[in-house]
Amino acid sequence: MVNLGVIFPPDLAPEQLRPVALAAEESGLAELWLWEDCFAESGIATAAAVLAWTERLRVGIGLLPVPLRNVALTAMELATLARLFPGRLVPGVGHGVLDWMGQVGARVSSPMTLLGEYATALRELLHGQTISTSGRYVSLADVGLAWPPHTVPPVLVGAVGPRTLELAGAVGDGVILTGETSIEELPEAVRRVHAGRAAGPDTALEVVVFVTVPDRPAAAEVAGRVNRYVEAGATTVALLSVGEQAPPPEEFARFAGREVQPLLG
């Protein structure tokens, strides 16, 4: 059965997060997804708060922009959360919005190269390896975590274009697809991730799709759409409520958990 989640977007104030997290937990939703947008909210800080407030909710971070973060620091933060809350963390990494990366002086000339080097090193560090590497962007000299996680979280890669989709399969444990990927486009996107998988990790492949839900649709309508994404290859569908008539985020979390989830195949 698909993992159903909702998204807490960073255009909502941080103080709105706790009631949404508790509503998602109480309604039986599997996951809550967070974004790290520049100049808004930290994905690590918000994930730590949600994990501490809840008991079973799986918390996804989509995405951590890799130009903004040293890979050793990201590994330390994720390993700490994974040890404190084993089996409940799903981090994702991505290029970041290039204009934002330019604003903070972190834009690189080859985002694909950086993402590949970064995801590879991050997975190795989380798996307890001590590594030395000297890539174009990622350089580590005999670096290993003192407290690697016992339950290693999957490292997902955000992707839209065909080359990044294949890279996600080659260096990650799965892929995060934005709402720009339609149900019709999803099978081809999944095929490209699997094409890159030949040289990738020997782990179960997670396919997370972010889906926008406008205003106040009927539960059966939303469930039907989720089921179509699952049939097309999604393993997790995370819903984002949008529109002038959209309910408050905590109300939408209860709607998704109590009304949509029971209708899923």
Can you tell me the distance from the alpha carbon of 257 to that of 117, in angstroms, rounded to the nearest whole number? 38
Helix, strand or coil, per DSSP, at residue 204:
coil
pTM of full prediction above 0.85:
yes
pLDDT tens digits, one per residue of 118-147: 999 999 999 999 999 999 999 999 999 999
Domains within the chain, CATH numbers bracketed: 3-263 (3.20.20.30)
- Is the confidence at residue 169, as pLDDT, over 80? yes
Write out the DSSP string of 154-177: P-EEE--SHHHHHHHHHHSSEEEE
| Helices 111-126, 162-171: crossing angle, 10 deg rounding | 20
pLDDT tens digits, one per residue of 192-247: 999 998 777 777 899 999 999 999 999 999 999 999 999 999 999 999 999 999 99
φ, ψ at 172 (rounded to 5°) = -120, 175
122, 57 in Cβ contact below 8 A?
no
Distances from the Cα of 210 to the Cαs of 39, 139, 150, in angstroms?
Answer: 22, 33, 29
- Residues forming beta bridges with residue 140, ordered by sequence position: 133
N- to C-terminal Cα separation, the chain: 7
Alpha helices, DSSP H, located in the chain: 17-26, 43-53, 71-84, 98-103, 111-126, 162-171, 186-196, 219-231, 249-255
- The per-type count for the chain, helices as H runs and strands as E runs, is 9, 10
Can you tell me the distance from the alpha carbon of 208 to that of 193, in angstroms, rounded to the nearest whole number? 12
pLDDT (0 to 100) of residue 197: 85
